[in-house]
C-alpha cells in the first residue's frame, strides 16, 4: 500500500464498497416461530442495491425473496422526503433499504424508487401496490392494510381492494402527517412518524407543523440556474417544529392527543402489552416523562419521571411493555445506565446499557462492561442477566428475545459474522459477501493518562520499534454520543491506510463518548471544545511517553463533523502542540447548529450566551498561527456550509492564511464517488505532509 497504485487501489475499493460494508446482511426480522430470518443484502461487495432475503434456520438455506435489480433495472428516482430520510439515517445504499412486515411475517411492504410494493413471503410474489412517491410503508399487524406517506400526508391502502385514501385531509403545506421531523430523526433517533394499533384498526399519527421554524437556504453554486433548496432548520435558540398526535381509525374517526407544553416527542411505543407509551422531554432536556395514552379520548397519564441536573439521556428501544404488561425502561443509578423491569433493576452498576433491542416475555439488550471499546448482547432470564455474545469485539443484537441475531465485528477477523441464536446456542449463520479489505491493522489498544482515555495507536505496516521517528496524525471524532475506538478490525482500516502513508495515527475517545457512564458523558456539559481538546492533548502526550517514535514536533489532526470542529480548535487554541489541522464539515459557531443537540450541552443561547461565545471558533480566528485546511460540502443540510464560510471570512479579515476546499454537491456524508473520495483523501495527506515538512 506504499505505492501510488496501492494508495489508489485501497481508497477506490473503500469508496466502491462503501467502506467494505456492501454485501453485509442487515435489518433482520425473525418470524414468530423462529423458523425463518428475513434480512437485506446486496448481491456482492460492490453492488449498492439491496434485495430482501430469507434464511431457513433448520436447513441453513438462503433464498432471495425480492430481487431489487429485477424490479428496477435502472436508476432510482426518490422523492425528496425519502432522500432527506436517508440523509438522516446516513443511508448510502439503494434498492430495498427498508421493509416492514405484518405480525405473522406473511407479507412485507417496501418502497423501491418511490413505488410501494408488497411481497408474499411464502411465494416471493411481488406486487406494486402504489405507483407514487412513497415514504416509509408499513403494513398493519394483520396484513390487511399498508400505511405510507406521500406528499407529506399519511395514506392507507387496502391490500385486497386497492382502495387508497388519505388518513387526514389538511391542505396546509407547512404541516406533515406521519413523518418524523428533522430533530427527531437527526438527534433523538426517532425515525418514524406513525404507529399501527395492535388490532390494526387505527393509527397513532404525528402531526408536525413547521410554520414557525426558521427557513434556511441551500444553493447550488455549481448550477446557478437550479432552484434554491429551502429547508426548515431549528437552530439553537429558535423555534422547533410543533409536534402533536392524533389517533385516527380506518373508519375516519379522529381523536386529538393533548401533549401540553412539552417541547419534544422523543419516543412512542404501542404494543399489545399495554396502552401507547409517549416519551416527552422538556426544552432543556432535564426532565423526561413517560405517559400512557387513553386512545378513546386522547388523555394521558404520567407513568414515569426521569430528571437530571444536566440532561436526561434518551436510550433507544425504551420505554416498552413486556408481553404480560410489565413496564421496561432504562434509568440512571450508581453512575450506570441500568435496565428496569416493573420498577426493579435487573442489571447492576457493572453494565452500561446502551440500547434495548427487543421486549417480549424477556428483554434483549446491548451493553458495555469494564471495557467501553467492546459492546456485547445480553438477555434477561427471570431475574438474572445472561450474555449471549462471546469473544472480544463489537456485537449488535436484533431479531427477538427467543431467536436473536448476533452481528459481530472483531480485531481478529475482517468484516462481519452473523449468527442466529436460540435456546442458548447457535442454530444458524447468515453469509456476508462483502469484499475483504486485505488489510490487517497494526494497532495497539491503549488506556492513556490519568483518565484512562481509550485509544488506538496505529503504526505503519511492518514498523519496528526504534526504527525511526514518525510524525503523528490524530484522527478523532472526539465528541459526545460517538465512538471511534472500537475493538473491530474494520474500524481501523482508514487509520491503517493513513499510517502506511508514513504516520503514527492516534485515535482517541475522550469524555462524552458512550459506554463509560453518565458522569463521563456529563463532563461535556457547558464546554464542548476545551474538554474534548484537553483529552486529545493528554492522550497524545501519554502515548509519546510510552512510544518513543512519536515525534511531538510534527503533529497534525484531521476530523469530520465534530472531529472537524476539534481539528480546527486544535490549531487555533493549541498551536504549541499541533502544526496542521484538516477540519471537515466543522461546526464553527454553535448558534448555527440545531436545538436538541446544541442546547443539551450549552443551554439556550439567550440564557447562557457565554457558553456559546466560549465554544465558538469564530472569535479564535485572529489567533491562527498554524496551518488549517477547511473542507465542507456545499449541500450539507446538517452542518451548513455557513459554518466554514464564516470562519474563513474571519480568518481572511484577520489576515490569517488558510486553505478552503468546497465540495460541490456534497452533503454531510463524505463524498461517495470513487474518484472524489480517493482524491479528497490524497489531497488531505499531501497537504498534511507539506505542512509537517
pLDDT for 647 beyond 60: yes
**Percentage of residues of the chain with pLDDT beyond 70:** 99
438-469 pLDDT, tens digit per residue, is 999 999 999 999 999 999 999 999 998 778 89
Coil vs helix vs strand at 346: coil
Are the beta carbons of 599 and 263 closer than 8 angstroms?
no
Distance CA 102, CA 26 (A): 19
pLDDT for 148 beyond 90: yes
pLDDT reported for residue 4: 45
CATH code, domain with 543: 3.40.50.1820
Set of cell numbers at residue 187: 438527534
489-505 pLDDT, tens digit per residue, is 999 999 999 999 999 99
pLDDT for 8 beyond 80: no
Distance CA 562, CA 509 (A): 12
User: Domain span at residue 599?
Assistant: 443-692
Within a domain: 50: no
Are the beta carbons of 493 and 14 closer than 8 angstroms?
yes
Count of domains for the chain:
1
For every residue of 126-177, which 3-state class applies, written as one string? Answer: EEEEECCCCEEEEECCCCCEEEEEECCEEEEEECCCCCEEECCCCCCCCEEE
pLDDT band for position 2 (cuts 50, 70, 90)? very low
Buried-exposed string 189-198: b where 16+ CB fall within 10 A, e elsewhere: bbebbbbbbe
Distance CA 208, CA 43 (A): 38
Within a domain: 586: yes
Name, of 111-125, 414-428, 592-606, the range with top average pLDDT: 592-606
pLDDT reported for residue 7: 52
pLDDT for 423 beyond 70: yes
Mean pLDDT, range 21-47, rounded to an integer: 96
pLDDT for 411 beyond 50: yes
Mean pLDDT, range 484-491, rounded to an integer: 97
Distance CA 687, CA 691 (A): 6
Within a domain: 585: yes
pLDDT band for position 173 (cuts 50, 70, 90)? very high
For every residue of 241-269, which 3-state class applies, written as one string? Answer: CEEEEEEEECCCCEEEECCCCCCEEEEEE
Within a domain: 678: yes
Q: What is the dihedral of CA 541, 479, 306, 248, to 10 degrees?
A: -160
pLDDT for 590 beyond 80: yes
Set of cell numbers at residue 55: 434464511
Distances (CA, A) of 131 to 8, 117, 162, 214, 513: 42, 9, 12, 33, 44
pLDDT for 3 beyond 60: no
**70 CB contacts (<8 Å, ≥6 apart)?**
none
Query: DSSP string of 270-284?
Result: --TTSS-EEEEE-TT
pLDDT reported for residue 1: 40
Within a domain: 520: yes
Of 681, 626, 686, the closest CA to residue 502 belongs to 686
Within a domain: 620: yes
Within a domain: 499: yes
Are the beta carbons of 332 and 518 closer than 8 angstroms?
yes
pLDDT band for position 312 (cuts 50, 70, 90)? very high
Of 321, 328, 280, 287, the closest CA to residue 306 belongs to 287
336-348 pLDDT, tens digit per residue, is 999 999 999 999 9
Q: Which is it for the CA torsion 560, 566, 569, 570, positive or negative?
A: negative
pLDDT for 5 beyond 70: no
255-273 pLDDT, tens digit per residue, is 999 899 999 999 999 999 9
Question: What's the chain's average pLDDT?
Answer: 95
Rg of the chain, C-alpha, whole Å: 25
Set of cell numbers at residue 299: 388523555
Coil vs helix vs strand at 86: helix
Distance CA 614, CA 645 (A): 19
pLDDT for 660 beyond 80: yes
Distances (CA, A) of 598 to 213, 238, 284, 620: 16, 12, 10, 19
Of 327, 331, 328, the closest CA to residue 351 belongs to 331
Please work out, in degrees rounded to the nearest 5, the angle formed at the alpha carbon of residue 207 by the alpha carbons of 202 and 212: 175
pLDDT reported for residue 6: 52
pLDDT for 371 beyond 90: yes
Query: pTM for the full model?
Result: 0.95
pLDDT for 645 beyond 80: yes
pLDDT band for position 152 (cuts 50, 70, 90)? very high
DSSP letter (8 states) at residue 312 = P
Query: DSSP string of 225-243?
Result: TSPPEEEE--BTTSPPPEE
Buried-exposed string 435-452: b where 16+ CB fall within 10 A, e elsewhere: bebebebbbeebebbebe
Mean pLDDT, range 171-183, rounded to an integer: 96
Within a domain: 203: no
Distance CA 479, CA 186 (A): 16
Amino acid at each position: 500500500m506504499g505505492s501510488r497504485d496501492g494508495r489508489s487501489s485501497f481508497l477506490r475499493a473503500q469508496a466502491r464498497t462503501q467502506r467494505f460494508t456492501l454485501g453485509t446482511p442487515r435489518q433482520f426480522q425473525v418470524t414468530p416461530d423462529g423458523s425463518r430470518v428475513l434480512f437485506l443484502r446486496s448481491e456482492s461487495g460492490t453492488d449498492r442495491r439491496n434485495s430482501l432475503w430469507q434464511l431457513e434456520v433448520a436447513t441453513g438455506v438462503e433464498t432471495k425473496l425480492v430481487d431489487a435489480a429485477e424490479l428496477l433495472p435502472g436508476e432510482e428516482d426518490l422523492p425528496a422526503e425519502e432522500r432527506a430520510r436517508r440523509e438522516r439515517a446516513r443511508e448510502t445504499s439503494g434498492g430495498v433499504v427498508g421493509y416492514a412486515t405484518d405480525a405473522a411475517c406473511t407479507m412485507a411492504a417496501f418502497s423501491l424508487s418511490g413505488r410501494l410494493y408488497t411481497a408474499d413471503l411464502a411465494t416471493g410474489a411481488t406486487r406494486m401496490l402504489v405507483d407514487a412517491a412513497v415514504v416509509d410503508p408499513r403494513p398493519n399487524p394483520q396484513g390487511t392494510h399498508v400505511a405510507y406517506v406521500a406528499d407529506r400526508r399519511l395514506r392507507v391502502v387496502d391490500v385486497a381492494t386497492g382502495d387508497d385514501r388519505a388518513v387526514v385531509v389538511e391542505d396546509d403545506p407547512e404541516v406533515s402527517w406521519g413523518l418524523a421531523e428533522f430533530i427527531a430523526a437527526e438527534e433523538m433517533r426517532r425515525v418514524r412518524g406513525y404507529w399501527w394499533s395492535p388490532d390494526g384498526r387505527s393509527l397513532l399519527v404525528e402531526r408536525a407543523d413547521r410554520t414557525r421554524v426558521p427557513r434556511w437556504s441551500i444553493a447550488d453554486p455549481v448550477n446557478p440556474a437550479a432552484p434554491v433548496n429551502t429547508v426548515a432548520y431549528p437552530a439553537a435558540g429558535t423555534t422547533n417544529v410543533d409536534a402533536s398526535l392524533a389517533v385516527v381509525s380506518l373508519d375516519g374517526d379522529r381523536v386529538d392527543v393533548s401533549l401540553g407544553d412539552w417541547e419534544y416527542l422523543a419516543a412512542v411505543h404501542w404494543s399489545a402489552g399495554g396502552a401507547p407509551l409517549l416519551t416527552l422531554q422538556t426544552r432543556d432536556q432535564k426532565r423526561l416523562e413517560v405517559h400512557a395514552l387513553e386512545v378513546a379520548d386522547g388523555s394521558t397519564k404520567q407513568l414515569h419521571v426521569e430528571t437530571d441536573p444536566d440532561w436526561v439521556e434518551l436510550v433507544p428501544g425504551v420505554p416498552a411493555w413486556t408481553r404480560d404488561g410489565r413496564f421496561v425502561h432504562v434509568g440512571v443509578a450508581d453512575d450506570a445506565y441500568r435496565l428496569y423491569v416493573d420498577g426493579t433493576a435487573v442489571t447492576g452498576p457493572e453494565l452500561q446499557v446502551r440500547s434495548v433491542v427487543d421486549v417480549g416475555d424477556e428483554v434483549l439488550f446491548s451493553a458495555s462492561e469494564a471495557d467501553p471499546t467492546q459492546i456485547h448482547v445480553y438477555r434477561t432470564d427471570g431475574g438474572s442477566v445472561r450474555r449471549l455474545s462471546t469473544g472480544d469485539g463489537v456485537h449488535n443484537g436484533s431479531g427477538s428475545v427467543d431467536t436473536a441475531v448476533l452481528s459481530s465485528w472483531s480485531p481478529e477477523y475482517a468484516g462481519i459474522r452473523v449468527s442466529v441464536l436460540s435456546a442458548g446456542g447457535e442454530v444458524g449463520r447468515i453469509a456476508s459477501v462483502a469484499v475483504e479489505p486485505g488489510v490487517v491493522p497494526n494497532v495497539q489498544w491503549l488506556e492513556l493518562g490519568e483518565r484512562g482515555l481509550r485509544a488506538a495507536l496505529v503504526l505503519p505496516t511492518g514498523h519496528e520499534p526504534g526504527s525511526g521517528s514518525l510524525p503523528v496524525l490524530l484522527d478523532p471524532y472526539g465528541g459526545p454520543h460517538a465512538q471511534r475506538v472500537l475493538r473491530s478490525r474494520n474500524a481501523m482500516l482508514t487509520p491503517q491506510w493513513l499510517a502506511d502513508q508514513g504516520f503514527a495515527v492516534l485515535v482517541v475517545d475522550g469524555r462524552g463518548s458512550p459506554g463509560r457512564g453518565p458522569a463521563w458523558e456529563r463532563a461535556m456539559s457547558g464546554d464542548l471544545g476545551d474538554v474534548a481538546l484537553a483529552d486529545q492533548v493528554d492522550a497524545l502526550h501519554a502515548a509519546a511517553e510510552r512510544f518513543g517514535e512519536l515525534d511531538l514536533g510534527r503533529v497534525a489532526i484531521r476530523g469530520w463533523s465534530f472531529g472537524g470542529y476539534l481539528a480546527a480548535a486544535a490549531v487555533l487554541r493549541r498551536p504549541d502542540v499541533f502544526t496542521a489541522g484538516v477540519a471537515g464539515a466543522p461546526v464553527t459557531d454553535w448558534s448555527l447548529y440545531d436545538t436538541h443537540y446544541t442546547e443539551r450541552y450549552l443551554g439556550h443561547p439567550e440564557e447562557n450566551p457565554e457558553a456559546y461565545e466560549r465554544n465558538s471558533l469564530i472569535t479564535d480566528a485572529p489567533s491562527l498561527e498554524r496551518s488549517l485546511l477547511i473542507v465542507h460540502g456545499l449541500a450539507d443540510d446538517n452542518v451548513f456550509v455557513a459554518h466554514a464560510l464564516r470562519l474563513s471570512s474571519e480568518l481572511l479579515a484577520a489576515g490569517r492564511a488558510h486553505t478552503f476546499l468546497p465540495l460541490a454537491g456534497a452533503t454531510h456524508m463524505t463524498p461517495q464517488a470513487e474518484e472524489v473520495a480517493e482524491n479528497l483523501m490524497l489531497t488531505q495527506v499531501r497537504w498534511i505532509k507539506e505542512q509537517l515538512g
